[in-house]
Amino acid sequence: MLSQIKPLTQEERQKALAAAQQAVMRAVGDRPQREDFDQHSASRFPMSVTRLINGLCIVLLLAAFTPSAIRLFVIGSETFGAAIPDHLAMAAVGVATVLTAEIGQVVFSLALATLGTTASTRRLLYVSMGIATAIALVGNIQVALPGHAESPFAWLEAIAPPLLVLSTAYVLKGQLLESIEMRHANERAYQEAVNLWQSATADPEQHPQWKQFYANALHDALRKVNSRRKDALAALTTADWRALVYRELQADQWFVESVIEQAVPAEIQEDDQPEPAPLALSANSNGAHPQYANE
């Protein structure tokens, strides 16, 4: 029955090999996309809660920033104007004072989440944050307390805004740090998936199921070549197909796997020849034919 099945030619086997490689590529799939891993790592809290916290932090930051920024603008511009009475310069210095104190608190706090990787860097950021907070506290107290030093609320109104800005910045820093960790985990998972995809597509024949893919391709090629032998194909069993596929797998190895007899070395051939005996003289002095030692 197997003899009725026409074997494949070398070109047809090469086409089957290419088809098997393409089948592996299709099984592996397309290259992973980074956006597919955006939700790979789940947050400890629901996204709605995280967004609510961020929104409330921004509202609180603006609420605490407004009175503190006004006082800092006033004290910064007036203090500068005492030395240089220029209105434009006074306004510029007032804005710079607000940015140095209030924005500095937020910037240095958030920087701890990304740049505070060493002890020296963290110390520098904490010192800078302390300087910005000191400017905000002293400026608010100097403007708010004159004439109201005995009022407890005046003290709270002067001290609370800078401290609330600092506390809110710490909350935002925690949210930012969690977001960075999630993004790093997603990126790590994406890079691992890309490495697996590249290793699988670089050499399809190293795929764990490569033999099955190649066998399927040879099976399809044999069916196509022997399409007119429908009766013979219908009578083939699973064992017959395995034998046919194995025959095709061995078709290109017939020369390499054959046993080639090696020539016997010349010195061995000379040793195997019988040694001739000395020439014997007969009575009539005619030489006799040489006799071999083993005769």
Instruction: Give me the pLDDT at residue 184, please.
Output: 87
225: nearest Cα among 5, 3, 41: 5
**Are 139 and 82 in contact, with CB atoms under 8 Å apart?**
no
**Are 128 and 104 in contact, with CB atoms under 8 Å apart?**
yes
25 exposed, middle or buried (CB, 10 Å; 0-12, 13-18, 19+)? middle
Distances (CA, A) of 263 to 63, 257, 258, 260, 267: 99, 18, 16, 10, 12
In the chain, the amino acid numbered 77 is S
At residue 292, φ and ψ (nearest 5 deg) are -90, 150
DSSP label of 34: G
| Backbone Cα Rg of the chain | 45
Instruction: Give me the pLDDT at residue 116, please.
Output: 78
Buried b (16+ CB within 10 A) or exposed e, 232-241: bbeebeeeeb
Instruction: Give me the pLDDT at residue 28, please.
Output: 85
The residue whose two tokens read 């030395």 is 83
Q: Tell whether pTM > 0.85.
A: no
* Distance from C-alpha of 203 to C-alpha of 161, rounded to nearest angstrom: 63
Instruction: Give me the pLDDT at residue 236, please.
Output: 85
* Distance from C-alpha of 72 to C-alpha of 165, rounded to nearest angstrom: 14
* Distance from C-alpha of 139 to C-alpha of 294, rounded to nearest angstrom: 126
Helices 119-144, 152-202: crossing angle, 10 deg rounding: 150
Token pair listed for 78: 């007036």
Q: Which residues are 287's β-sheet partners?
A: 281
Instruction: Give me the pLDDT at residue 274, please.
Output: 52
The residue whose two tokens read 């190649």 is 214
> Within the chain, where are the H helices?
10-28, 47-83, 87-98, 104-114, 119-144, 152-202, 210-225, 230-235, 238-251, 266-272
Instruction: Give me the pLDDT at residue 256, please.
Output: 67
Tell me how crowded residue 217 is: count the other CB atoms within 10 A of its CB.
23
* Distance from C-alpha of 134 to C-alpha of 108, rounded to nearest angstrom: 14
Token pair listed for 96: 């710079």
Tens place of pLDDT for every residue, the chain, 295 residues? 677 788 888 899 899 999 998 998 888 888 888 888 877 777 777 788 888 988 999 999 899 989 999 999 999 999 999 999 899 999 999 999 999 998 888 888 888 877 878 899 999 999 999 999 999 999 999 998 888 878 888 898 889 988 998 888 888 888 888 888 888 888 899 999 899 888 888 888 888 888 999 999 999 998 898 888 888 888 888 898 899 888 888 887 777 655 444 444 444 444 445 555 554 444 444 554 445 444 4
